[in-house]
């Protein structure tokens, strides 16, 4: 029992370490959220301008967003920004690629409705030695036109040579690339409905990438910690002739795998909570929650509760122990979250303060759970209760045989009920696993609904759209 109950603190500790180690992914993902929102604001800003004129501004932002998404996936320090978003709308440079505080590449981007117009617009003396960027579907034709005009020896031959030398069919630098944007895509971005779909896709891809990449790194941290603890314990067992080398190696491998799974799941879920909060409540609220480690605490609770539910489904624990473990997880995770936030304020050292505070909170929560109640001393209420004890004791002695009989009947019914619903629970949990892998909130909600139905309850929201509509309404949330 005690070994299982330490899982919540293990998950929380690995989650905190993993969250700190992968903060750069989250920061980059937040940057992509801002890119997506800027894309929507640009479309709204230029909505009264002809689409073939406005699309040029959106073309630049689409290329920047795609480049930054690829940088996130490849864990690169590079990121791109449009000069317009930096408050320089008339600058000859349209896009800059930055590493740290240094600009490493300047790009002039032109998106016209024909390759010939894009070619001419790119070939201006003021764009000297800048990278030149145009719609990817025009690239082949642009290169052909440049070569033809250079061979013809026109007055702009030097300008065309420079354009050809610096021409790109997609925003790219040092292995990071946008993979290109076609003219029609930029044109579609002038449509309010389509640009919102594009922005949502950018946010979704950024969130999923952060969850996966952060999960992998946190998984490695969890595996290292678990394997290290198991190895030390194994060496002690070998020294005391309690185990052989083969058994220890096997146990270390198993613990490493469990640690990886715990680290991955805890961090991936916490990142998902962070980005969902950003999408629904905005950047400011999300940052406050992240600093308080609330997403990590929630994720640790989800992971630990999931382990308890799995043990129950496999028959390793009974319903009484399941409820006890869930109660323990709820109390310790809540206490760890609260004291972790306090610890971070008192000890403003990244991770250290949160870990110390969470450790204190865990043991306080564990003590509260083990004690089952908070002692009130000999208050008037307790004195009255003592006077009633004799009457209640007599009543209990009468009821004990009846309760024992009812308990036997209840256990028989629970065994039969569990057997009948085992397949339903298994299918529902498979839906949850598949939803997490595919990042499909509607499938996840459907799986939760199936589980709730088995307990005579139903979810308030049947799909993510209903939840999103509710969150955007003025209705008061009721627990």
Query: b or e along 411-429 (b: 16 or more beta carbons within 10 Å of the residue's beta carbon)?
Result: eeeeeeeeeeeeeebeebb
Cα 237 → chain centroid:
39
Radius of gyration of the chain (CA): 30
Q: Element (H or E) spanning 136, and its range?
A: none
Residue ranges of domains in the chain:
1-17+211-374, 48-189, 388-479
144 to 148, 149, 180, 432: CA distances (angstroms): 6, 9, 18, 52
- Give the bridge partners for 81, in sequence order: 96
* DSSP string for 363-401: HHHHHHHHH-S----S-HHHHHHHHHHHHHHHHHHHHHH
pLDDT per residue of the chain (479 residues) written in tens, 0 to 9: 444 444 555 666 666 677 777 778 888 888 898 899 999 999 999 999 999 899 999 999 999 999 999 999 998 999 999 998 888 888 889 999 999 889 999 999 999 999 999 988 888 888 888 899 999 999 999 999 999 988 887 778 888 888 899 898 899 999 999 999 999 999 999 999 999 999 999 988 988 888 888 888 878 887 888 888 888 888 888 888 888 888 888 888 888 887 787 777 777 777 777 777 666 656 555 555 555 566 666 666 666 666 666 666 777 777 666 666 666 566 666 655 555 555 555 566 665 555 555 555 555 555 555 555 433 334 344 456 667 777 777 776 777 777 677 767 766 776 766 666 777 777 877 887 787 777 777 888 887 887 777 777 777 777 777 777 777 777 665 55
DSSP summary character for residue 475: P
Here the tokens at position 12 are 């929380």
Distance CA 474, CA 282 (A): 16
Q: What is the DSSP string of 73-109?
A: HTT-SEEEEETGGGT-TT-S--EEEEETTEEEEEEEE
CA distance 330 to 340: 15
Beta bridge partners of 78: 99
The confidence score (pLDDT) of residue 260 equals 81
pLDDT for the residue 381 = 42
d(CA 335, CA 116): 66
Q: Are 43 and 192 in contact (CB under 8 A)?
A: yes
The H or E element spanning position 132 is: strand 131-133
Are 46 and 217 within 8 A, CB to CB?
no
Q: What share of the chain is helix, strand, coil (3-state, %, to 5)?
A: 75, 5, 20
First-to-final CA distance of the chain: 31
- Mention every residue, 6+ apart, whose C-beta is less than 8 A from residue 235: 248
On whether the CB atoms of residues 343 and 297 are closer than 8 A, the answer is: no
């Amino acid at each position: 029992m005690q070994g299982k109950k330490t899982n919540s603190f293990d998950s929380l500790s690995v989650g905190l370490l993993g969250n700190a180690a992968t903060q750069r992914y989250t920061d980059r993902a937040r940057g992509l959220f801002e890119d997506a929102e800027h894309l929507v604001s640009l479309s709204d800003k230029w909505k009264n301008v002809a689409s073939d004129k406005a699309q040029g501004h959106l073309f630049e932002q689409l290329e920047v967003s795609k480049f930054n998404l690829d940088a996130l996936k490849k864990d690169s320090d590079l990121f791109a920004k449009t000069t317009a978003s930096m408050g320089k709308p008339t600058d000859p440079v349209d896009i800059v690629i930055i590493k740290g505080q240094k600009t490493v590449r300047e790009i002039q981007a032109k998106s016209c409705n024909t390759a010939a117009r894009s070619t001419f617009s790119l070939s201006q003396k003021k764009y000297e030695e800048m990278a030149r960027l145009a719609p990817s579907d025009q690239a082949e034709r642009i290169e052909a036109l440049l070569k033809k005009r250079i061979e013809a020896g026109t007055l702009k031959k030097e300008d065309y040579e420079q354009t050809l030398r610096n021409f790109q069919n997609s925003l790219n630098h040092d292995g990071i690339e946008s993979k290109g944007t076609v003219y029609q895509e930029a044109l579609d971005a002038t449509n309010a409905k389509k640009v919102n779909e594009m922005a949502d896709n950018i946010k979704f891809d950024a969130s999923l990438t952060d969850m996966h990449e952060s999960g992998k790194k946190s998984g490695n941290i969890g595996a290292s910690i678990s394997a290290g603890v198991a190895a030390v314990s194994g060496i002690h067992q070998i020294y005391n002739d309690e185990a052989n080398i083969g058994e220890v190696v096997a146990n270390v491998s198993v613990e490493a795998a469990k640690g990886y799974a715990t680290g991955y799941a805890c961090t991936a879920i916490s990142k998902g909570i962070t980005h969902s909060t950003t999408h629904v409540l905005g950047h400011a609220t999300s940052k406050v929650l992240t600093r308080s480690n609330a997403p990590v605490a929630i994720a640790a609770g989800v992971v630990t509760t999931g382990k308890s539910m799995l043990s129950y489904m496999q028959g390793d624990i009974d319903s009484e122990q399941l409820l006890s473990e869930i109660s323990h997880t709820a109390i310790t995770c809540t206490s760890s979250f609260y004291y972790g936030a306090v610890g971070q304020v008192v000890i403003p050292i990244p991770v250290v303060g949160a870990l110390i505070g969470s450790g204190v909170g865990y043991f306080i929560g564990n003590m509260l759970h083990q004690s089952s109640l908070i002692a009130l001393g000999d208050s008037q209420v307790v004195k009255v209760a003592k006077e009633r004890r004799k009457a209640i004791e007599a009543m209990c002695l009468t009821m004990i045989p009846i309760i024992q009989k009812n308990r036997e009947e209840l256990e028989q019914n629970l065994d039969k009920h569990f057997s009948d619903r085992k397949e339903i629970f298994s299918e529902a949990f498979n839906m949850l696993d598949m939803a997490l892998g595919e990042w499909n909130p509607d499938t996840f909600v459907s799986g939760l609904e199936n589980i709730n139905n088995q307990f005579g309850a139903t979810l308030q929201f049947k799909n993510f759209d209903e939840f999103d509509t509710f969150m955007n309404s003025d209705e008061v949330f009721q627990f």
